[in-house]
Amino acid sequence: MDCEGAMSVFTAASGNHCVQGVPFINDILQYDSLSIVGLEKNTGKTECLKYVLDRLPVDTKRIAVTSIGIDGETVDQVTRTQKPEIVLREGMYFGTSEAHYRQRRLVSELIDVSDESTSLGRVVTAKALTGGKILLSGPSSASSLRRWMGEMQQRFDIDLVVIDGALSRMSSASPAVSQSMILATGAAYSANISTLVSKTAHVVDLVNLDLTSESNLKSLMPLDKGLWFIDKSDELHALDAITSLSKDIHFEGMDGCKTLYVAGALVDGFLEKVRKNKDLKHVELVVRDFTKIFVTPQQFRLFIKAGGRISVLQKSKLIAVTVNPTSPSGYVLDSDTLCAKLSEAIGLPVYDLLKNNECN
C-alpha cells in the first residue's frame, strides 16, 4: 500500500464508517502468524490486540493467541499498574501459563499441557467455549515459542497464530518468528511528534531489513552464539571474539569475507568498526532479527550511507503501525498530525485505534 492509499484509509477510518472492511484485518489473514509489538509500555499494544481479536473472522478461521514471556501478569511488574486481560471470543485457541489458566474468566476446553515450565508454571493450551477474559503468558524462549506455533498449526490446524509480542528483555523469545507484524507506538515512546516519528521510523527500518540469501540462511540459522564469517568459497569460519561487545575485535585473516554474522546483539561500536574497515566495505552484515540490533539511528544511517548492508535471518512483514497519542502522564499529541507525519515517514498505513473505536 502506498503512502497516499494509507492516508485515505486513515481518513476513512477516522470518519463515520469505520468497522466494515477494516483494512489490515485482510492483510493479516494472508499470513499464518502475527505478532503485535509495543515499542514502549502504554503505546496501545493491548488495545491493538483487542482490536484485532474483535475483528478476526472466528467462524471461518481457526485462531490461536499467546504471549511471549511473562507479559501477562495482572499487575505490571514495572509500573505496578493493573494489567488488562485479553478478551477472547468463542472458538479461539489460546496458550497461557497454568497460573493464569486457573484465573480464567471463560469456559474453555484443555487440549494440551506442555512439558516446558515458565515462571508461572507450564504452558497450557485450550479452546474458548464461551467468550471471556484471560491473562496471557506463553512460551518464554524463542525455540519453545516456535515449537508451540508449529504444534498449533500441525496438530490443531490453526490458520493464524497471534502473538502478544513484548519487546522485552525479560524474554528471549523474539516476535520476529511470526510472518507478519504490527507495531504499536505512541506518546509514551516520545512526547515530541518529530522525535516520535524519527524513533519509530528507525524501528520500522530495522523491521524492514531484507532477509539474507537462502544459502546464508541454511548455514547461519543453527548458530545461536558467536561471530562468524563466510568467505568467497562459501566456507564458514568462526571469529575469535565471542560477542560484538568485545573491545578488541580484530578483523584479521578475513580475506575474501563475504558475509559477517553476529549471532548476538549488534551494537554501535561494532558497527562503526565494520564501517571503518576497508576490507569489509562490501560485506553483508547478518543478524538474527531486528530485535538483536541495538544501534543508534545515527550509526545505522552512517553505515547504510557508507554502502553497508544489513540483513536478517528471520523477518516479519510489517503490516501496519498503530499509535496511541496519549502518554501515561496525560500529555496528548494531535492524533491526525501524528498519523499523517508518521505515515509519510514510513510509507505504511498508520492507525489511531482508540479514535477508530470511538466512532463506532
Partner 1 sequence: MLDKLELQSGFTRRWLLDSPMMVRDEEIAASYDVLHRFDTFVGQVDKTHLDTVLFKLQGLKDIRTTIKNLHNQAVLDDIELFEVKHLAILATDVNKLLMQHDMDGVVEIPTLDEVISILDPDGMKIATFYIYDSYCAQLKDLRVQMRQHPEQQDDLLLQASELEESVRKDLSNQLHPFAAAIEQAQLALARIDVNLAKVMQMRQMGLSFPVLSSDGVTRYEAMFHPQVKEALAQHGRDFQPVDITFGEQPTLITGANMGGKTVVLKSLTLCQLLFQFGFGIPAASAQIAVKDEIYFCIGDEQSVEKGLSSFAAEMKNIDAVIKASRENKIIMALIDEPARTTNPTEGAALVSALLLVLADKGMSLVMTTHYDIEPGRARCLRVKGFENGSMDYRLVEVQDGEVPHEALNIAQSLGIDSEWINTARNLLETCPQ
Given 2, 115, 157, 252, the residue binding partner 1 (CB under 8 A): 115
Q: Nearer to partner 1 by C-beta: 147 or 309?
A: 147
> Residue 264: which of 226, 300, 216 has the closest Cα?
226
Q: Which amino acid is at 333?
A: L
Determine, following the binding rule CB under 8 A, whether residue 109 of this chain makes contact with partner 1. yes
Determine, following the binding rule CB under 8 A, whether residue 110 of this chain makes contact with partner 1. yes
Residues touching partner 1: how many (CB under 8 A)? 20
Q: Which stretch binds partner 1 (CB under 8 A): 57-65, 122-130, 224-232, 347-355?
A: 122-130
Given 77, 119, 130, 195, the residue binding partner 1 (CB under 8 A): 130
Q: Nearer to partner 1 by C-beta: 111 or 302?
A: 111
Q: Nearer to partner 1 by C-beta: 136 or 340?
A: 136
Q: Which stretch binds partner 1 (CB under 8 A): 37-45, 53-61, 127-135, 140-148?
A: 127-135
What whole-number distance in Å separates Cα of residue 66 and Cα of residue 138? 6
| Residue 85 Cβ vs partner 1, minimum distance, rounded to whole Å | 12
Given 25, 113, 245, 254, the residue binding partner 1 (CB under 8 A): 113
- Measured CA angle at 195 (ends 15, 308), to 5 deg: 110
What does each C-alpha distance from 298 to 148, 198, 199, 268, 295 come to in angstroms? Answer: 37, 11, 11, 9, 8
CA 358 vs. chain centroid, Å, equals: 26
Q: Nearer to partner 1 by C-beta: 126 or 267?
A: 126
Question: What phi and psi, each to the nearest 5 degrees, are found at residue 291?
Answer: -70, -10
Determine, following the binding rule CB under 8 A, whether residue 131 of this chain makes contact with partner 1. yes
Determine, following the binding rule CB under 8 A, whether residue 268 of this chain makes contact with partner 1. no
**DSSP calls for 141-158:** SHHHHHHHHHHHHHHH--
Instruction: Give the DSSP letter of residue 182.
Output: E
Classify residue 26 as exposed, middle or buried by CB count within 10 Å of its CB (0-12, 13-18, 19+).
Answer: exposed
E-assigned strands of 41-100?
A: 63-67, 86-88, 93-97
Considering only residues 68 through 107, tell me which ones interact with partner 1, judged by CB under 8 A.
90, 98, 101-102, 105-107
Q: Nearer to partner 1 by C-beta: 26 or 130?
A: 130
Tell me if 101 sits within 8 A of 167, measured CB to CB: no
What does each C-alpha distance from 136 to 62, 133, 167, 194, 212 come to in angstroms? Answer: 18, 10, 15, 34, 33
Determine, following the binding rule CB under 8 A, whether residue 127 of this chain makes contact with partner 1. yes
Q: Nearer to partner 1 by C-beta: 106 or 227?
A: 106
Determine, following the binding rule CB under 8 A, whether residue 111 of this chain makes contact with partner 1. yes
Pairing of strands 309-312, 284-287: parallel
Q: Nearer to partner 1 by C-beta: 97 or 216?
A: 97
Given 19, 75, 129, 238, the residue binding partner 1 (CB under 8 A): 129
Q: Nearer to partner 1 by C-beta: 12 or 107?
A: 107
What whole-number distance in Å separates Cα of residue 310 and Cα of residue 287? 7
Given 33, 108, 259, 356, the residue binding partner 1 (CB under 8 A): 108
| Residue 113 Cβ vs partner 1, minimum distance, rounded to whole Å | 6
| Residue 294 Cβ vs partner 1, minimum distance, rounded to whole Å | 35
Q: Nearer to partner 1 by C-beta: 85 or 352?
A: 85
Determine, following the binding rule CB under 8 A, whether residue 132 of this chain makes contact with partner 1. yes
Determine, following the binding rule CB under 8 A, whether residue 55 of this chain makes contact with partner 1. no
How many CB atoms neighbour CB 280 within 10 A?
A: 18
What whole-number distance in Å separates Cα of residue 202 and Cα of residue 204? 5
What whole-number distance in Å separates Cα of residue 94 and Cα of residue 114? 13
- The site for partner 1 (CB under 8 A) is made up of 90, 98, 101-102, 105-111, 113, 115, 124, 126-127, 129-132
